[in-house]
Structure 1
Amino acid sequence: MYGSRGAMFGSGVGSKRQRMMQSNPYNLAVGTGAASFPPYGGFPVVRLRGLPFNCADVDIFKFFTGLDIVDVLLVSKNGKSSGEAFVVFAGPMQVEIALQRDRQNMGRRYVEVFRCYKQDYYNAVAAEEEGAYEVHVSPPPAGPSRAKSFSEKEKLEYTEVLKMRGLPYSANKHQIIEFFSGYKVVEGRVHVVCRPDGKATGEAFVEFETAAEARRAMAKDKMSIGPRYVELFPTTREEARRAESRSRQ
C-alpha cells in the first residue's frame, strides 16, 4: 500500500499543473503565500536528499510504506536527476512519521528527510513547468546553512575551513584529499566526523592553507565522491575543533 495516489504516480499519469493544484490539501493560494498555517508543521511536505539517481516515484512510495502520499515531485536539473524530491502527505502527523525515516537506506544510499517550506514545493513545481530547476530552497530548522545555494554561500564569510556534508560512510581522509586535488589542503587538518560509537556521520572538516584557497575549493560543491554528491559549506576552526572533540568522547 503506497498511498492513495501510488498507482497514479507510479505510472506517470496526470499533468504537472494538475499535480500542483491537486496536491494542495489545505487550499493554499499558490504563489501568494496565503495560508493560515506556519511554514513548518502546517503544510505536510518534506524534502528528500541523497536519492539514487535512478530513483522513481514508486521507490519513494516504498520508502514511505504505510504513509498516505498525496504527491511526489522528483527534482531534475538540466534534464538529469538531482537526487532530491519533495513529498506531500495527507496530513501533518504523517510528516512527523516520515521524518523518523531520515538517513534510512534506499538501495545503497542513505536518504535524508527534512522539513521544508510549502513555497519551496510550489517553486519546484513551477520550475518543473518551465523545464528548469532554479529554486532557492529555504534551510531546514536544524542547520542554517544546510540547503543554501552556491550563490548564497559565496556571500558568507570564509575562513580556512570547509565543512563537507553527504559523504559516503566509507569515505576516508585519503579520498577527501584526492577530492580536493589541485587545492592546497593542510593534510594533517582533515577530520572525518564520527559518532561516539565510531560510526561515520557523513560529515568532515577540511582546512586549507588560506581562506582564499577555501573559497576557491568551493568549486567542488555538489561534485561526487563515489555514488554520492557532496555539499560544501564555509565554517570556522572552532566548529571543526568541537566536532573533533565530540568524535573522541
Structure 2
Amino acid sequence: MGHQYIEVFKSHRTEMDWVLKHSGPNNADSANDDFVQPRGLPFGCTKEETVQFFSGLEIVPNGITLPVDPEGKITGQAFVQSASQELAEKALGKHKKRIGHSYLANYLEH
C-alpha cells in the first residue's frame, strides 16, 4: 500500500446502489443505512486490509464493497456496513488515521 490519505464519509444504501450500478457487479447484501464510505484507499487495498483498518468495528457479513471501474480496477473507495449506527459513527473516528502509508479523512454525510 502507498502513502496517501483516505476520506471516510457517512453513506446510505441508495448511494452505494448507484455506485455499484455504474461500476459493474459487486457483492453488497445489506438491509440498513449504517454505512461509512472510505475514499482515497490505496488502489491495491483489499477487503482484508479494510477489515484490519476498521478493527473494533463490527462489520456485517459481506459488509465491505469495493467498487470497480469499467476495466475492473478498484476505484479507491469502499462502502463498509457496520452492525449499528453507533458503530458507524465510531468508524468516523478514523479521520486522518493511516492505512499503510495513507491517512483517512472522515466526513459525516447524511
TM-score w.r.t. the length of structure 1 is: 0.31
Partner of 1:240: none
More helix, by proportion:
1
Instruction: Measure how far apart 1:199 and its partner are.
Output: 1.3
Cα distance between partner residues in 2 of 1:220 and 1:173: 17
Task: Map Cα deviations across residues 8-37 of structure 1 (whole Å, 9 max, x no partner).
Answer: xxxxxxxxxxxxxxxxxxxxxxxxxxxxxx
Q: Residues 38 and 104 of structure 2 are in contact (CA less than 8 Å); yes or no, is this contact kept in structure 1?
A: yes
Work out which of the two has the higher radius of gyration on C-alpha atoms and give 1 or 2: 1
2:31 maps to 1:182: no
Instruction: Measure how far apart 1:201 and its partner are.
Output: 1.3
Cα distance between partner residues in 2 of 1:109 and 1:211: 29
2:108 maps to 1:213: no
Q: Residues 161 and 235 of structure 1 are in contact (CA less than 8 Å); yes or no, is this contact kept in structure 2?
A: no
For the residue of structure 2 that corresponds to 1:200, the secondary structure is coil
Aligned residues: 85
With over 3 angstroms needed to count, the CA separation of the structure-2 counterparts of 1:162 and 1:203, relative to structure 1, is same
Cα distance between partner residues in 2 of 1:235 and 1:161: 10
Instruction: Measure how far apart 1:109 and its partner are.
Output: 6.0
Q: Give the one of 30, 34, 43 matched to 1:169.
A: 43
With over 3 angstroms needed to count, the CA separation of the structure-2 counterparts of 1:235 and 1:185, relative to structure 1, is farther
Task: Map Cα deviations across residues 147-182 of structure 1 (whole Å, 9 max, x no partner).
Answer: x9xxxx8xxxxx400000111001010000111111
Cα distance between partner residues in 2 of 1:193 and 1:235: 19
Partner of 1:225: 99
> 5 Å matches for 1:88-237?
159-234=33-108
With over 3 angstroms needed to count, the CA separation of the structure-2 counterparts of 1:187 and 1:223, relative to structure 1, is farther
Q: Residues 192 and 200 of structure 1 are in contact (CA less than 8 Å); yes or no, is this contact kept in structure 2?
A: yes
Cα distance between partner residues in 1 of 2:107 and 2:66: 15
Cα distance between partner residues in 2 of 1:167 and 1:198: 16
Instruction: Measure how far apart 1:185 and its partner are.
Output: 1.1
Instruction: Measure how far apart 1:234 and its partner are.
Output: 4.2
Instruction: Measure how far apart 1:235 and its partner are.
Output: 5.2
Letter aligned with residue 209 of structure 1: A
Q: Residues 177 and 187 of structure 1 are in contact (CA less than 8 Å); yes or no, is this contact kept in structure 2?
A: no
**Identity across the alignment (%):** 31
- Unaligned stretches of 5+ residues in structure 2: 11-32
With over 3 angstroms needed to count, the CA separation of the structure-2 counterparts of 1:217 and 1:202, relative to structure 1, is same
